[in-house]
């Protein structure tokens, strides 16, 4: 995959981030970063951060958002297909309460 192929995927990921629940958005942000490090050869990635993210990609950090980000990072770095959103996680619902003034 070259930069031209990546640009379409990166645009799609940006749109998905905007419309995703927070945990899914973190996965997508991680995927985008991992892809950038691997495919686009971003040179400013520090090797220590890379190892930390790869270590957390299996879970166990204690924070579901960090785990999602790290899992996405690994998938993007390895070039695997985007993980499907979990069917069990429903977007948060907000209550709109009208107040009478």
Residues 6+ apart with CB under 8 A from 38: 76, 77, 78, 79
Residues in the chain: 101
Whole-structure pTM value: 0.76
Tens-place pLDDT, residues 62-82: 899 999 999 999 999 998 988
Whether the Cβ atoms of residue 68 and residue 86 lie closer than 8 Å to each other: no
Work out the pLDDT band at 27, boundaries 50, 70, 90. very high
Per DSSP, the three-state class of 55 is helix
Mean residue pLDDT across the chain? 79
pLDDT for residue 2: 64
pLDDT for residue 6: 76
């Amino acid at each position: 995959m070259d930069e031209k192929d990546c640009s379409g995927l990166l645009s799609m990921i940006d749109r998905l981030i905007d419309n995703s629940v927070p945990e899914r958005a973190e996965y997508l942000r991680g995927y985008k970063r991992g892809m950038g490090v691997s495919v686009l050869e971003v040179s400013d990635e520090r090797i220590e951060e890379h190892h930390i993210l790869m270590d957390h990609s299996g879970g166990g950090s204690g924070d579901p958002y960090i785990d999602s980000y790290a899992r996405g990072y690994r998938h993007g770095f390895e070039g695997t297909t985007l993980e499907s959103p979990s069917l069990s996680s429903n977007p948060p619902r907000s209550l709109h309460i009208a107040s009478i003034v």
